[in-house]
C-alpha cells in the first residue's frame, strides 16, 4: 500500500511538472529579427515576449535564433539542431530578404523555405511564415516572383502568413534607419503589430 502511494505521488508530481512546462516559440530570422541597430530590449521579439506574458494563459518561452545576414540556405542548415533542442510549438520563419538582395533565384529561396516548413511540421510545430518584398529597383519580374513565394507557400504548405513584414514601415518617416533596409527602434512595435494578428490564432491551437 505504501509503495503504491509513493508511485502515485511521483506520477502525479511528474504530470504536474509536465503540464506546467512552457511552450516554446522559435524565431528563425535575419537582421530584422536580430535587433540590428536597435536596443535588444526594444526590438520586436522582446516586445513579443512581453505581449505573450500578458495575452496568453499558457507559459511561453521565446527562443530567438535570428542572425544578421542570414539566408534561407543558412536557416535551413541550422534548423534541425534548433528543432531538436527547443522542440518548439510554433516556428516563425522570417527569412528570404537577404536571398533577394543578393539576387538568389526565387526557386532556391522557395525550396529552402519549403524544406524548413516541412521540417517544422514534421515535429508538429505550427508555422508562421513572414512575407517579404524587395525594392522596385530589382526589376518588376524579379520582385513579383520573389513576393509570390510567401503566399504560394502558405497556401500549399498550409501555414499561417504575415503578408508583408514591413507593411506601413518601409515608406513611413522615421521608421527606417539610414541604410534604408532596417527598421528603427520606433518601428519595432509596428513590426509586432504586423505579426500579432497572424500569430495569435496559433497560440490558441
Structure confidence by residue, pLDDT tens digits, 123-163: 999 999 999 999 999 999 999 999 999 999 999 999 999 99
When pLDDT is cut at 50, 70 and 90, the band that residue 10 belongs to is: very low
Residue 97 near residue 149, CB atoms below 8 Å: no
- Cβ atoms of 127 and 117 within 8 Å: the answer is yes
Residue 26: pLDDT above 90? yes
User: What are residue 175's phi and psi, to 5 degrees?
Assistant: -95, -15
**Is residue 62 in a domain?**
yes
CA–CA distances in Å: residue 50 to residues 42, 69, 164, 201: 11, 26, 23, 17
Note the pLDDT of residue 7: 42
Looking at the domain assignment, is residue 125 inside a domain? yes
Active site residue 125: no
User: Is 3 inside any structural domain?
Assistant: no
- Express each pLDDT in 168-187 by its tens digit: 999 999 999 999 999 999 99
Residue 16 domain flag: no
> Which residues, listed in sequence order, are joined to residue 23 by a DSSP beta bridge?
60
- 72: domain CATH number is 3.40.50.1110
Predicted pLDDT of residue 4: 53
pLDDT over 60 (residue 113): yes
Q: Please pick, among 31, 33, 89, 125, the residue that the annotation labels catalytic.
A: 31
Give the model's confidence band at 24: pLDDT under 50 very low, under 70 low, under 90 confident, else very high: very high
Query: Is 31 among the residues known to form the active site?
Result: yes
**Is residue 167 classed as helix, strand or coil in its secondary structure?**
coil
Residue 101 domain boundaries: 22-204
Q: Does residue 193 register a pLDDT over 60?
A: yes
Residue with cell string 504548405: 157
pLDDT confidence band for 11 (50 / 70 / 90): very low
Is 86 a catalytic site residue? Answer: no
157 contacts 117 by C-beta, under 8 angstroms: yes
CA 28 from centre of chain? 5
* CA angle (120 as vertex; 17, 100 as ends), nearest 5: 135
Is residue 15 in a domain? Answer: no
The count of structural domains within the chain is: 1
Residue among 5, 19, 179, 205 flagged as catalytic: 179
Q: How many residues does the chain have?
A: 205
**Three-state secondary-structure class, residue 30:** coil
Q: Which secondary-structure segment (H or E) carries 117?
A: helix 106-122
Tell me whether residue 11 is in a domain: no
Cell numbers for 80: 534541425
160 belongs to a structural domain: yes
Contact indicator for 167, 200 with CB cutoff of 8 Å? no
Residue 31 pLDDT greater than 80, yes or no:
yes
* Residue 68, in any domain of the structure: yes
pLDDT tens figures, 51-110: 999 887 789 999 999 999 999 999 999 999 999 999 999 999 999 999 999 999 999 999
Q: What is the pLDDT of residue 1?
A: 54
Instruction: State yes or no: pLDDT of 15 exceeds 80.
Output: no
Q: How far apart are CA 195 and CA 205, in angstroms?
A: 17
Confidence of residue 22 (pLDDT cuts 50, 70, 90): confident
Is pLDDT above 50 for 167? yes
The whole-model pTM stands at 0.89
Residue 36 grid cell: 540590428
pLDDT, residue 205, reads 74
- φ, ψ (nearest 5 deg) of residue 81: -65, -35
C-alpha cell of residue 162: 504575415
Which listed residue (30, 33, 125, 182) is catalytic?
A: 182
Amino acid at each position: 500500500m505504501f509503495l503504491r502511494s509513493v508511485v502515485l505521488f511521483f506520477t502525479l508530481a511528474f504530470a504536474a511538472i509536465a503540464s506546467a512546462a512552457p511552450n516554446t516559440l522559435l524565431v528563425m530570422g535575419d537582421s530584422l529579427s536580430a535587433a540590428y541597430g536597435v536596443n535588444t530590449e526594444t526590438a520586436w521579439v522582446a516586445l513579443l515576449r512581453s505581449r505573450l506574458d500578458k495575452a496568453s494563459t499558457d507559459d511561453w518561452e521565446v527562443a530567438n535564433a535570428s542572425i544578421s545576414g542570414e539566408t534561407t540556405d543558412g536557416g535551413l542548415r541550422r534548423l534541425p539542431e534548433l528543432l531538436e533542442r527547443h522542440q518548439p510549438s510554433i516556428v516563425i520563419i522570417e527569412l528570404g530578404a537577404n536571398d533577394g538582395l543578393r539576387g538568389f533565384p526565387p526557386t532556391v529561396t522557395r525550396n529552402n523555405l519549403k524544406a524548413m516548413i516541412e521540417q517544422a511540421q514534421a515535429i508538429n510545430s505550427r508555422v508562421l511564415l513572414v512575407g517579404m518584398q524587395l525594392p522596385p529597383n530589382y526589376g518588376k519580374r524579379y520582385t513579383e516572383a520573389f513576393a509570390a513565394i510567401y503566399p504560394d507557400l502558405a497556401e500549399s504548405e498550409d501555414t499561417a502568413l504575415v503578408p508583408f513584414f514591413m507593411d506601413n514601415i518601409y515608406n513611413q518617416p522615421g521608421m527606417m534607419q539610414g541604410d534604408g533596409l532596417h527598421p528603427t527602434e520606433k518601428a519595432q512595435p509596428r513590426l509586432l503589430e504586423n505579426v500579432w494578428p497572424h500569430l495569435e490564432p496559433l497560440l490558441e491551437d
